[in-house]
Homo-oligomer: A and B are copies of this chain.
Amino acid sequence: MKFGIVLFPSKKLQDLANSYRKRYDPHYALIPPHLTLKAPFELNEEQIPAVSALLRDIAGRTKPVSLNIAKFSSFSPVNNAIYLKVQATEELDQLQTALNQNDLSTGEPEYAFVPHITIGQKLSDDEHSDVLGQLRMTSIDHEEVIDRFHLLYQLENGSWTVYETFHLGREE
């Protein structure tokens, strides 16, 4: 089974993201707006309890994280995804690192972690530049604290179901 690890931002921010995703993101119906902490990886049934315990341990020794959002940005020219740019913080970096090393390493080459909440993807070049041009003129100044992350698995139709919630900074 394919698993992934994400943060869900507040309802307010999810509603804002969905107002764009509805038009610009073909994944709109597959998963709520999210910040990916660990890209999709394979786990078989027998591995789940150990991974779950490891995630609980990581969560327990990580403080709740701040999401500061000040602008829209894009991964262009790598791809035409547009996103809410989340300001890098030490806590967020540490959490992402912990979720991608040692027993949780998937052996994939490591890319720099760019925390973001996607609001559009797979856009044509023209649409991408139109939408990004408009959004760059939009001002955002949003800050919130998130105290949990979620382990999800993917169904055959491409949608994601939550397997478990992990609480940041809470020993369980």
Contact = CB atoms under 8 A, between A and B. Distances in A.
Interface of A: 1, 8, 11, 14-15, 18, 22, 29-30, 32, 148, 150, 153, 155-157, 159-165, 172
Nearest to A151: B165
Contacts of A18: 155-157, 159
A157 B16 CA distance: 11
Q: State the copy count for this chain.
A: 2
B14 A155 contact: yes
A5 to B, nearest CB: 13
Closest 3 CB pairs of A and B: A29-B29, A162-B162, A165-B165
A161 to B, nearest CB: 4
